[in-house]
Chain A
Amino acid sequence: MKTAAEQASSKCPVTAGTPAVQAKARDVVLQVRDLAVDIRTHRGTVRAVNSVRFEARAGETLALLGESGCGKSMTAKALAGIMDPVCDLADGQILLNGTDLAALSPKERLKFAGPGLGIVFQDALTALNPVYTVGTQLGEAFRIHRGLNAKQARLEAIDLMKRVGIPEPESRVNSYPHQFSGGMRQRILIAMAVALNPRLLIADEPTTALDVTVQAQIMQLLRTLREEGQMAVILITHDLAVVAEEADSVAVMYAGNVVESGPVSEVFADPRHPYTKGLLESVPVHLERGAQLKSIPGSPPELHHIPAGCVYQSRCPLVQDICRAERPALRAVDNSPTRTAACHFSEEITNA
């Protein structure tokens, strides 16, 4: 594999601003530039993901936050190269350690996929094959990518199960997926994703199907693995609280576009896009019981009817003529090197 990580990091926007930022500056593992994904439907081609930009750093968690249909899962699938056949990668670069995944042939990409990036799906039951033991499925990566024989792969599988905290791995390695509980299955899925020590781990709603007490365990495991392997983690979620607790930086998506990004603490404390602000206000906290929640009126636009101007115009309280005419680009806000927002009036949003 290329050692272009340093190269990439030197190219990335300057982060040597405040000392705090400098202390946190880490290698950029993944850089996504102007990613666009099209879906072909019977009513024509629609753009599900549009000029999405973000970067993920080693040892940090980037959250992709958005509601259903906003394109966050599609983005993840595009990164992992497992899109449905009706979807096309229309534009953009996916630089993993400096290598553009988008430019690779499917075959090269397959070779790259295991060692380079791992992905954890939401539904652990359907993501595992019910007719193979978990040992076989965990060992598969080693057999394919490292050419180990069945016995060695089994040992590696046991080792992995230990790493993700599955009790009695020696006996449970021969169990089938349905014999595990939901939380344990999710651990197996995570083990599969980190088997080859990837630089990047994509977790697509990893805890949505789990109970809160189990969710806390899984999140703790992800944190530990991230620190151990100095992985970059992309956490895809719709849960603001999970983002607040687990992520270092966040990219908020709406109707296929990134509308705001930056460090979680700054974005949540002082949102610079009306959608982010609306989302934060929709959470019932610090409110008197039964008090009216500030909800966002309406619902997200259909992909067939995304308006010409700003994607959020139909639900935005600040909408002006310019919003209908011109789509705002994602630009730096607050003179901060790390914060961006795609709004014409991002300076006028106050967190009052």
Chain B
Amino acid sequence: MQTSLTEGAAAEQLPADTQQPEGSNKAGKESKQNGKLNLFRLLLKDRFATVSAVILVFVGLTAILGPALMGDLATRQNLLFANKAPFTFAHGWEYFLGSDSLGRSMLARLVVASRTTLSVAVPAVAVALVIGSLWGVWAGYHRGWRENVSMRIADVIMSFPSLLLAVVVLYVFSPSAANIVLILALTRLPIYLRTARAESAELQSRTFVDAARTFGAKPSAIIVRHVIPVVLPTLLTLATLEFCYVMLAESSLSFLGIGIQPPDVSWGLMVSQGRQYLQTAWWLSIFPGAAIVVTTIAANVLAAWLRIATDPAQRWRLALPRKRLIARIPVKETQP
């Protein structure tokens, strides 16, 4: 897209970030703080990104603080209030989002489930991200046999259906949360490995990497200084997409009875448990489903924004009116 711009426009994009105060020569902290402040200010400018950030913070706080506030509400059964419809305070605030067939509060269950869900999804994504990325960056930077071996390992893992692998492993071992995290991390690791390898292999041939080599910088130093900062935004975007996948995978496993075990509850488990009541009590599936969707969309929007905002060469795009971004469609060339 950028290359299709005209020379004039290209020249004018150059001074992307002029917010940095001139003449501040004190190194380190000051400029970094400034960078963070700028990022925050940029975030406030983008409405969608701001809303997403607020949603994610809310979900995170709920997962951390919510269960304590709810007490035993999520497990307390009350058959008098079984299958109550949502959006009424008639049965007390705890039943505002309705109740399930055992008369447990949906609201409380959602809150408690959020913790389980995140405590599986976040570590699973994080473990795969860290190991896969570092491995991929290392393999891509050095090329040669390291790259070949790594890619073949990735192929082997990829060619095995990940859910099937999970089923096999979780049947053999006990279906604990830790095991779910490990198996999900393992099966999703090749995604990061491949992406990181591809980007790193491309980056290692760039001139500024060559320049660093001419100083005698060690490969590890070059990877930390030049490769990872460039690869990271892409991988983080990938991670948010994976976050969505992992939540769904966890719910599938829970559905099969080898994931989260009742009385523990996760959003995915709630969706699968409510599935049979879809005709009579839609809220049992829809609310946890909506929670999954909203969380993943918010994570995606924020990741997309972050990817642009952290790239100094792309940051100018955020200053562009939204319409213009959409309006820039390729033209037919009249060249015969």
Contacts and interface: CB of A to CB of B under 8 A. Distances in A.
Interface in A182-207: 192, 195-196
Nearest to A38: B8
Interface in A148-200: 192, 195-196
Interface string B312-332: 000010011100100111010
Contact of B8 (A42, A71, A80, A82): A71
Interface stretch (A55-63, A90-98, A137-145, A273-281): A137-145
Given A69-B7, A85-B328, A141 B12 contact: no
Given A46-B12, A303-B11, A39 B335 contact: no
B22 interface: no
B30 interface: no
A302 B11 contact: yes
Contacts of B11: 68-69, 302-303
Interface residues on A, range: 35 or more
B9 interface: yes
B214 interface: no
A303 B10 CA distance: 10
B336 interface: yes
Nearest to A71: B8
A304 B12 contact: yes
A47 to B, nearest CB: 9
A82 B6 contact: no
Contacts of A69: 7-8, 10-11
Most chain B CB within 10 A, of A48, A109, A114, A145, is at A48
B9 A39 contact: yes
A39 B12 CA distance: 10
A40 interface: yes
Interface in A68-89: 68-69, 71, 73-74, 77, 80-87
A86 B12 contact: no
Given A42-B319, A43-B12, A69-B11, A86 B6 contact: yes
B4 interface: yes
Interface string A195-229: 11000000000000000000000000000000000
A41 B336 contact: no
Contact of B316 (A42, A48, A195): A42
B7 A84 contact: no
A80 B334 CA distance: 8
Nearest to B316: A42
A42 B6 contact: no
A127 B333 CA distance: 10
Interface string A87-120: 1000000000000000000000110011000010
Given A82-B334, A114-B336, A195-B336, A48 B328 contact: no
Contact of A41 (B7, B9, B327, B329): B9
Interface in B1-33: 4-13, 15
B331 A74 contact: no
A141 to B, nearest CB: 4
A85 B327 contact: yes
Contacts of A119: 335
Contacts of B331: 82, 84-85
A68 B7 contact: yes
B12 A303 contact: yes
B333 A41 contact: no
A303 B13 CA distance: 10
Contacts of A195: 336
Contacts of A145: 336
A140 B8 contact: no
A334 B20 CA distance: 50
A42 B321 contact: yes
Contacts of B9: 39, 41, 84, 86
B7 A81 contact: no
Contacts of A42: 316, 319-321, 324
A74 B334 CA distance: 15
12 contacts: A41-B9, A42-B319, A68-B11, A69-B7, A73-B6, A74-B6, A82-B331, A82-B333, A82-B335, A84-B331, A86-B5, A113-B336
Interface of A: 39-43, 46, 48, 68-69, 71, 73-74, 77, 80-87, 109-110, 113-114, 119, 127, 140-141, 144-145, 192, 195-196, 256, 302-304
Given A43-B319, A82-B335, A84-B6, 14 more contacts: A39-B6, A39-B12, A43-B12, A68-B11, A69-B11, A80-B335, A82-B331, A83-B6, A85-B328, A85-B329, A86-B324, A113-B335, A302-B11, A304-B12
8 closest pairs, A vs B, by CB? A48-B8, A141-B336, A114-B336, A42-B320, A69-B11, A113-B334, A84-B6, A39-B8
